[in-house]
Amino acid sequence: MIEAQATVLRLDADVAIVANDGDPACGRCVGAGGCEALTFSRLLCVTPREYRVANPIGALPGDKVTVGVPDGLITRSAAVVYLVPLLLVLVGVLIGQVVAPADASIGIYAMVGVLTALPISGVWITMVNRRGVYSHAWPVILRGSE
């Protein structure tokens, strides 16, 4: 399980909204030989990001906590967010090519297939997220920390 330090900002039912304290998970971000991913991410996002995490310990706003991300969650999330739209785009292109009349430009029909597939994938990902299909794999507050 990947762990990171965070501060609880506010509560929303049984979910806590936390902000990462900026400490890298590996501890080598700013040292020699580290990847310095944290430095790069600070260039892109100067305000702290807020995350929704499960709060089984009942942490309160202002508490310093250790948040854990289950192994494989990042890989599965990336697969859902990137592979589903990619597959739907490919299906859209194939459908566009199949339904195109013989004397028409296949590229236009393929593009219509792509432009149809992208919103469908966005709606599907949103529905999966709202239904909580992956709620068992949410990041979770493991313990309080100082």
In this predicted model, what pLDDT tens digit does every residue of 63-91 receive, in sequence order? 999 888 877 777 877 887 888 888 888 88
The pLDDT, as a whole number, for residue 28 is 55
**CA separation (Å) from 71 to 14, 105, 106?**
22, 47, 43
Average pLDDT over residues 31-48: 60
Q: Please check the confidence at residue 61 and state whether its pLDDT lies above 70.
A: yes
The pLDDT, as a whole number, for residue 64 is 92
Against a cut of 0.85, is the pTM above it? Answer: no
Q: Please check the confidence at residue 48 and state whether its pLDDT lies above 60.
A: yes
Quickly state the pLDDT bin for 120 (edges 50, 70, 90).
confident
Domain assignments of the chain as residue spans, ordered by start: 2-70, 74-131
Contact criterion met (CB below 8 Å) for 58 and 87: no
The pLDDT, as a whole number, for residue 43 is 62
